[in-house]
Amino acid sequence: MEDVICTFCGSVCDDGEFDAEKKKVKKFCRLGSAKFSEKERIKAPMVDGKEVSYETAIEKAAEILVNAKKPLLYGWASTANEAIRLGVILAEKLRGVYDQCASVCHAPGTLAVIEEGLPGATLGSVKNRADVVVFWGSNPAEAHPRHGMRYSISAKGLLIKDRKQRKVVVFDVRPTKTAKMADLFIQVKPGYDYAVISALRAILSGNADVVPSEVGGVAKEKLLQLAEMMKNAKYGAIFYGLGVTQSRGRDRNVENAIKLIQLLNRTTRWIIWPMRGHYNVVGAGEVPAWEVGYQYAIDFSRGYPRFSPAEFSAVEVLKRKDCDAALIVASDPAAHFPAAAVKHLKQIPVIQIDPFPNMTTLLAKVVIPSAVYGIEAEGTAYRMDGIPLRVKKILETSYWTDEKILEEILKRVEKLKG
C-alpha cells in the first residue's frame, strides 16, 4: 500500500510504502519503521492482573471514574482525534481533569501563544521558501530524522532549488548531530536562551550598543553575525524544541523568540514553529480547544472548563495529590513523570488504554488493549504544523479502537450517572 502515513513523530511522513507480505514499511526512518514492525502487545483486557472481557474491563473502568471526586484523564498525544474528542467529552461528563502530553513538552509554547500569538507557517512553506532555517534547542537529526530531508534542511522547493541556497543554523547547549549538518553552530550556556534572544532583539531594533560583549556564553560578534543573517534572510524559520521549552525560561523563552519574529517581520519574512514530538500531540490540543476552549490542563469540576496549567497539568495534579483516579490513554506517565507525581499515581486506581505494555501498565488496575492507529485503525491526526492527515488501516485486528473503547465507557458512565 502506498502513501502510508507514519504515526510516530510529529513529522508525520506520508510517503510510506507498506509491504503486506513482509509486514514492513519502506521509506520511513528507523523510528517509524520500528512502530510499523511487530511488537509486543497487551494480550487482553485485565482487571487486577486477571484477563477479562472488554465489556467487564469497561464496566469496571466506568465505575472507578464515576466514583472518583477528581479523575484525571491524561495522555492523548498518540491516538486519533476521534478518540480524543470522546476523551474530552468524558472528562466533561465526569467533571474531572483533561490533560495531554504537551504539558510536559511543548505546553510552554502554548503559553507563549497566549501572550504573543503564533507567527507561523506550514512545513511546505518552509520547504519552498526558507533560505535561513534555525534549529533552536531542537535536534531533528535524532528526534525527527526525516524532517530535514522532507521540509527544512536538504528539502528542495519552489524557490530553494539547492541546499546551498539555504543557511542552516543550530543554536544549542552542545554540538548535536544536527549541528554537524548546519552551516553555523552557536553554542549557548544552558539557561541563557532568554537573555540571548533579548540581545538579538536589541541588536535588530538599533540598540546594539546596550548589549554587553558576551551574553549567555555567546560573543557579541557572533550575535551581530546572526542578527545580520536573520535580517538579510528573505524567508526565515525558527524551529524550536524541548531544549528551549523544558529548560530555564520555558514559556518566556518561546515568548521572547516570538517577539523577535514579530520584529523581523517588519522588514522581511520570518516564521517560528515548535517541533512537536508525538504524531498527534497537535490533535490532543486542537480537539479540546474547539470542544471546550483550551488545549490542556483543563478542569471540569464545576461543570464547565477552567484552564490553569499551574494547577491542572497532570504533573501538578499528581504532585498535589489532587486526583483520586486516573485514565491514561496512549501514554506512559509512570516512566516519564517526576517521582513525586508517580508516587501518587501508584496510590490511586489507574485505568490504562494502550496497544503496547509499558511502565504504566505495571501499576494499572484496569488495562484495556487497543488497536494501533495508522496500522490497525483509521483516524485523523494533525501533523506538527497542524495539517490534518487521515491515517490508514492497513491490517485487520480484533483489538478494539480507542474510539470504540471510549465510546463504551462514555455510555456506561452516562448510565451510572443517571
> Is residue 118 at the binding interface for other proteins, with CB under 8 A as the rule?
yes
How long, in residues, is the chain?
Answer: 418
Please identify which residue in 23, 39, 43, 69 interacts with other proteins, judged by CB under 8 A.
69
> Is residue 305 at the binding interface for other proteins, with CB under 8 A as the rule?
yes
Look up residue 346 and give its amino acid: K
> Is residue 210 at the binding interface for other proteins, with CB under 8 A as the rule?
yes
Nearer to other proteins, 88 or 242 (CB): 88
Distance CA 198, CA 298 (A): 32
> Is residue 393 at the binding interface for other proteins, with CB under 8 A as the rule?
no
> Is residue 295 at the binding interface for other proteins, with CB under 8 A as the rule?
yes
Q: Are 355 and 373 in contact (CB under 8 A)?
A: no
Q: DSSP letters of 287-320?
A: HHHHHHS-SS-EE-TTSS-EE-HHHHSHHHHHHT
For the segment 332-371, give every residue that binds other proteins (CB under 8 A): none
Q: Which stretch binds other proteins (CB under 8 A): 23-31, 36-44, 265-273, 362-370?
A: 265-273
For the segment 13-42, give every residue that binds other proteins (CB under 8 A): 14-15
Nearer to other proteins, 152 or 176 (CB): 152
Report the nearest approach of other proteins to the CB of residue 291 (Å): 6
Report the nearest approach of other proteins to the CB of residue 357 (Å): 29
For the segment 152-181, give every residue that binds other proteins (CB under 8 A): 157-158
Nearer to other proteins, 53 or 301 (CB): 301
> Is residue 248 at the binding interface for other proteins, with CB under 8 A as the rule?
yes
For the segment 39-58, give every residue that binds other proteins (CB under 8 A): none
> Is residue 76 at the binding interface for other proteins, with CB under 8 A as the rule?
no
Q: DSSP letters of 65-78?
A: HHH-SSEEEEE-TT
Report the nearest approach of other proteins to the CB of residue 178 (Å): 19
- CB-facing half-sphere around the CA of 118: CA atoms within 13 A: 17
Q: Are 317 and 333 in contact (CB under 8 A)?
A: no
Report the nearest approach of other proteins to the CB of residue 16 (Å): 10
> Is residue 5 at the binding interface for other proteins, with CB under 8 A as the rule?
yes
Q: Are 344 and 316 in contact (CB under 8 A)?
A: no
- What are the two backbone dihedrals, phi and then psi, of residue 246, each rounded to the nearest 5 degrees? -115, 20
Please identify which residue in 59, 291, 332, 376 interacts with other proteins, judged by CB under 8 A.
291
What's 230's DSSP letter? H
Number of residues that bind other proteins (CB under 8 A): 97
Please identify which residue in 24, 189, 231, 252 interacts with other proteins, judged by CB under 8 A.
252
> Is residue 119 at the binding interface for other proteins, with CB under 8 A as the rule?
yes
Please identify which residue in 18, 74, 136, 151 interacts with other proteins, judged by CB under 8 A.
151
Nearer to other proteins, 57 or 345 (CB): 345
Report helix, strand or coil for 157.
coil
Distance CA 158, CA 125 (A): 9
Please identify which residue in 10, 32, 108, 120 interacts with other proteins, judged by CB under 8 A.
120
Query: Between vectors from CA 49 to CA 312 and to CA 336, what angle results, nearest 5°?
Result: 35
Report helix, strand or coil for 113.
helix
Instruction: Look up cell 511546505; give the residue.
Output: 124
CA-based nearest residue to 282, from 115, 145, 412, 100? 100
Q: Which stretch binds other proteins (CB under 8 A): 26-34, 53-61, 151-159, 366-374?
A: 151-159
> Is residue 249 at the binding interface for other proteins, with CB under 8 A as the rule?
yes
Distance CA 404, CA 243 (A): 37
Nearer to other proteins, 24 or 306 (CB): 306
Strand partners for 411: none
Q: Which stretch binds other proteins (CB under 8 A): 51-59, 195-203, 327-335, 404-412?
A: 195-203
Distance CA 198, CA 102 (A): 26
Q: Which stretch binds other proteins (CB under 8 A): 24-32, 164-172, 174-182, 299-307?
A: 299-307
Report helix, strand or coil for 221.
helix
CA-based nearest residue to 130, from 5, 27, 273, 279? 273
> Is residue 2 at the binding interface for other proteins, with CB under 8 A as the rule?
yes
> Is residue 183 at the binding interface for other proteins, with CB under 8 A as the rule?
no
Other C-beta atoms within 10 Å of 340: how many?
Answer: 12
